[in-house]
Amino acid sequence: MENWNLRHDVTQPSLMRKAQVKNLTAQFEKWISDNLPPLAQYIGPDWIGLAAATPGAPAGNGSTALAPPAINGPVDFFRRLQKARNRRTHFFGGDLFVDPAWDIMIDLYIAAAEHKQISISSACMASGAPPTTALRYLATLTDAGIIIRAADARDGRRFFVRLSDDARQKMTNWYESTGFA
């Protein structure tokens, strides 16, 4: 055990933790690349890996490219879109492509299909924006009739939000217009 010294460099444990996290991250990334098919197998013009791959085209690992799984309706589409948007943040950072209202709507669409209630704080996190910005978007979406806000029956301090029936139908119609239906 390390002897505590008042002159001890307090940044050292932080640097050690950062190195440990970096090492674990590298190990995790290696495990993923070894155990999951690389994203490069999904070739073609589609940016979220939904277009059919060219049969027989070589993938990044030298094997034959596989066709991505079929989309099973709008909920599956919105789940994939949400994952793709999160992946995009990994590659380009979180500040370049910001659309908190759309991210909230996608999250609420998926939650409705899963029969989950979404609190305002969860909707704020789904937006990917700072809480004050997300709250402004929630207010705008509520004023526009896109989301409905309802108090929690068990806890009067908490509110839930959901898509209005009209907004949910419009999102379904938008999905059908994309050509993925």
Task: State the pLDDT at residue 65.
Answer: 53
Most confident of 14-23, 80-89, 137-146: 137-146
pLDDT digits (tens, 9 = 90+) for 92-132: 877 777 789 999 999 999 999 999 999 999 999 999 889 99
- Could you count the other beta carbons within 10 Å of the beta carbon of residue 23? 10
Contact 32, 87 (CB under 8 A): no
Task: State the pLDDT at residue 142.
Answer: 96
Measured CA angle at 60 (ends 179, 22), to 5 deg: 105
Alpha carbon distance 122, 157 (integer Å): 15
Chain centroid to Cα 89, Å, comes to 9
Contact 122, 104 (CB under 8 A): no
pLDDT digits (tens, 9 = 90+) for 19-73: 676 666 666 566 555 554 444 344 333 444 444 434 444 444 444 555 556 778 8
pLDDT digits (tens, 9 = 90+) for 149-169: 999 999 888 999 999 999 999
Report phi then psi at 149, rounded to 5. -110, 130
Judged against a pLDDT cut of 80, whether residue 10 lies above it is answered with no
**159-163 vs 118-119, strand pairing mode:** antiparallel
DSSP helix/strand/coil, 163: strand
The pTM is what?
0.61
Task: State the pLDDT at residue 107.
Answer: 95
Alpha carbon distance 45, 161 (integer Å): 35
Token pair listed for 44: 């073609």
Radius of gyration (C-alpha) of the chain in whole angstroms? 22
Task: State the pLDDT at residue 111.
Answer: 95
Beta bridge partners of 1: none
